[in-house]
Chains A and B, each alone.
Chain A
Amino acid sequence: MTAVLDLRALSVDLPLGGFLTRARLPILCDVSLSVGRGESVALVGESGSGKTTLARAVMGLTPISGGSVFFEGQRVDGDLARLRRNAAMMFQDATASLSPRLTVGYLVTEPFRIHGLPLPDPAATARDLLARVGLPPAIARRYPHELSGGQARRVGVARALALDPRLVVADEPTAGLDVSVQAEVLNLMHDLRAGMGLAYLVITHNLALVRHVADRVVVLYLGRVVEEGPTARIFAAPAHPYTASLIAAEPKPDPRRRRADLAIRGEVPSVLRRPAGCEFHTRCPLVRDLCRSTPPDLVPVGDGRQARCHFADQRQDKQGERHAVDHR
């Protein structure tokens, strides 16, 4: 079965602002990933990891400088119409992604108008779409600034669903929402996936969200995939020290399980000054000499997983044990 979305060695770089130089700054390097039909893949990384750039490159908002994007087996090449008709995007700031002078009713039916599809009764279509995301019909008369964060998020989902897409790219779908509203949005995403066979590419730094929505996880660090594999396996025994640090850094909502020490120090280095060798070596608690000189490759480490670490194999067993103890 062909994947809904397939990225092959995707690279994106941005021009550096110099007047005379043609220098370009690599943001994403050789990122390959695929999202199967009905599958949900999470792309995880901190700010500066390039995850938002990836979402924009997939949707054709940022030009790609290398590699290719395949949508349902066909290469997306200049002609974005088919991709944009069948894939939708949810933006991080839901309110800002709604055109401010138009009503919700118009906004959710706009995809039909854009693609010249029949829209015999806009009001009825808007009502149906809003009902699918659990919003009352009266919302159709409101303007974006009159919506709460959770409502704007739902309107964004309703609009994304208008043309029955096969793929939804969701950039931080719960950012800025209260916990109880986050839960509502996650439940909604879950139900839609079950009901419509939607595939998700969820872009986030929130690991709690990943656990709930993702079948597979792709971890990005400085624009490179450092680990990739099934969610449950990765959370149980991360193969890359960066993934392990991310999981450890997440505050645990249980005062009895407070972390005693700190798994990771320092900050993500600037993409302007990428470290030599393994790019994570400046923050890695397990760094060795080899890491400072030789960049590791993304290699399979078993269980359908891949990791970009020289010592992933050796560490696998030990870490598995430690994590098992941790989680009792």
Chain B
Amino acid sequence: MSALLSVENLSVSYRIPGGRLRALRDVTLSVRRGEVLGIVGESGCGKSTLAAAMIGLLPQGATVEGGAIRLEGEDMRHLSPDRQRGIRGRSVAMVFQDPMTAFNPVLTIGRQVADFTGAHGQRLPQAEIAAMLERVGIPDPARCLGRYPHELSGGMRQRVAIAAALLMRPDVLIADEPTTALDVTMEAQIIHLLRALRADFDGAIVIVTHHLGVIAELCDRVAVMYAGEVVEEAAVDDLFHDPRHPYSRALLACDPAVVIPGTGHLPTIGGRVPDLSVLPAGCAFAARCPLADALCRTSPPRVAGQGRSVLCHRAATQVAP
């Protein structure tokens, strides 16, 4: 099956005093209908920039240096601004980390959701909105429509945001850290909701997060990002049980949630993320990699096959632990 949304060799940089910060370098990814793609990485790895680029909302100061973002084969960057706006929300919808910031505090939920859907086509009847709110697990949706954003809890606001996005029947739903601001029990409920929606939603979902647990619970495929590059892309089970890139392996190993209780020490990744405005030559992870050798000072190849791709000189030769 062909890709619904695909990112091809995308490079994005930010202008900063005295140079440019290379936030994304040669990123290639795609997501098919009915698939949930996870994008995972630590802060500063470029995952939020990638999410913003996918919906065509790069912040000021960001420049696309090359590559394409295709929705069903059509390069979104070559569309008129009007068409782009139409696609945003309509074909590609986004849910943010803190939905409070996405709502206008002085309007009721019902009014805002109606306005939002109205801006992208026909205004939907309140009954349809209420039905969608019920679908995302809001008790007493009719009453919720008359409330103001601050009267809802974080979990409820996130549900409303998801409902508003889904009312547009988008092809792609992008969720940027959808559970980070929530408590554990609410996080579990949102994960559960997204998983249930996936079954009857004929589109693709992209989850951007730093939380490996969320990825494991929710995604079909995962892209691991490091210093603006996708260093490994694989099916979720392959990644968690047979990570090939040394960074993926280190990241999985040091997750406090994964280690058997009782051990005093967790593995760590020594060193730090390179400065994206003065990148080292060759592999960006080499300075922190236990397997690095002289070869790693040259650009690593992308080794692809068996439904996965790894950006590493050693990917082919390495044996998984």
How far is it, in angstroms, between the C-alpha of A263 and the C-alpha of B191 when the chains are bound? 13
Contact of B255 among A179, A184, A194, A259 (CB under 8 A): A179
Chain B residues, Cβ within 8 Å of A265: 189
A18 interface residue, CB < 8 Å from B? no
Chain B residues, Cβ within 8 Å of A174: 256
**Stretch from A6-14, A81-89, A249-257, A307-315 forming part of the interface with B:** A249-257
Report yes or no: B214 in contact with A183, Cβ–Cβ below 8 A.
no
Query: Using a CB-CB cutoff of 8 Å, which residues 241-258 of chain B contact chain A?
Result: 241, 250-252, 254-258
> A178-B42, A190-B264, A262-B189 known; A205 and B183 CB under 8 Å?
yes
Query: Using a CB-CB cutoff of 8 Å, which residues 187-231 of chain A contact chain B?
Result: 187, 190, 194, 205-209, 211-212, 231
Contact of A263 among B156, B188, B213, B266 (CB under 8 A): B188
Report yes or no: B261 in contact with A253, Cβ–Cβ below 8 A.
no
**Closest partner residue, chain B, to A179 (CB atom):** B255
How far is it, in angstroms, between the C-alpha of A208 and the C-alpha of B256 when the chains are bound? 6
How far is it, in angstroms, between the C-alpha of A187 and the C-alpha of B215 when the chains are bound? 25
B212 interface residue, CB < 8 Å from A? yes
B268 interface residue, CB < 8 Å from A? yes
How far is it, in angstroms, between the C-alpha of A265 and the C-alpha of B252 when the chains are bound? 29
How far is it, in angstroms, between the C-alpha of A231 and the C-alpha of B183 when the chains are bound? 20
Chain A residues bordering chain B, tally (CB within 8 A): 44
B199 interface residue, CB < 8 Å from A? no
Report yes or no: B256 in contact with A209, Cβ–Cβ below 8 A.
yes
A258-275 vs B, CB cutoff 8 Å, 1 = contact: the mask equals 110011110110000000
A180 interface residue, CB < 8 Å from B? yes
> Shortest beta-carbon distance, A85 to chain B, in Å?
29
Q: State the majority secondary structure of interface residues on A.
A: helix
Chain B residues, Cβ within 8 Å of A212: 256, 259, 261, 266
> A174-B256, A251-B213 known; A186 and B189 CB under 8 Å?
no
Report yes or no: A187 in contact with B265, Cβ–Cβ below 8 A.
yes
> A209-B256, A211-B261, A262-B192 known; A249 and B185 CB under 8 Å?
yes
Chain A residues, Cβ within 8 Å of B316: none
Contact of A187 among B153, B188, B268 (CB under 8 A): B268
B175 interface residue, CB < 8 Å from A? no
B314 interface residue, CB < 8 Å from A? no
Chain A residues, Cβ within 8 Å of B106: none
Report yes or no: A253 in contact with B258, Cβ–Cβ below 8 A.
yes
How far is it, in angstroms, between the C-alpha of A25 and the C-alpha of B237 when the chains are bound? 48
B12-33 vs A, CB cutoff 8 Å, 1 = contact: the mask equals 0000000000000000000000
Query: Using a CB-CB cutoff of 8 Å, which residues 199-217 of chain B contact chain A?
Result: 210-217
Chain A residues, Cβ within 8 Å of B269: 180
B184 interface residue, CB < 8 Å from A? yes
Report yes or no: A180 in contact with B254, Cβ–Cβ below 8 A.
yes
> Shortest beta-carbon distance, A250 to chain B, in Å?
6
B43 interface residue, CB < 8 Å from A? yes
Report yes or no: A253 in contact with B212, Cβ–Cβ below 8 A.
yes
Chain A residues, Cβ within 8 Å of B258: 253-254
Report yes or no: A178 in contact with B216, Cβ–Cβ below 8 A.
no
Report yes or no: B261 in contact with A235, Cβ–Cβ below 8 A.
yes
Contact of A258 among B155, B185, B216, B261 (CB under 8 A): B216
**Closest partner residue, chain A, to B220 (CB atom):** A255
Chain B residues, Cβ within 8 Å of A255: 216-217, 219, 236-237, 240
Report yes or no: A267 in contact with B186, Cβ–Cβ below 8 A.
yes
Report yes or no: A184 in contact with B259, Cβ–Cβ below 8 A.
no
A245 interface residue, CB < 8 Å from B? yes
Given A212-B266, A235-B261, output 8 extra A-B contacts at Cβ < 8 Å.
A187-B268, A190-B264, A205-B184, A206-B256, A251-B188, A255-B236, A262-B189, A267-B186
20 pairs from A and B in contact (CB 8 Å cutoff): A46-B183, A179-B42, A180-B42, A180-B254, A183-B254, A183-B256, A183-B268, A187-B265, A208-B257, A209-B256, A211-B261, A250-B184, A251-B257, A252-B217, A253-B215, A253-B216, A254-B216, A256-B237, A267-B156, A268-B183
Listed from nearest, the 7 A-B pairs whose CB atoms lie closest are A251-B213, A249-B188, A208-B257, A183-B266, A178-B42, A46-B183, A183-B254
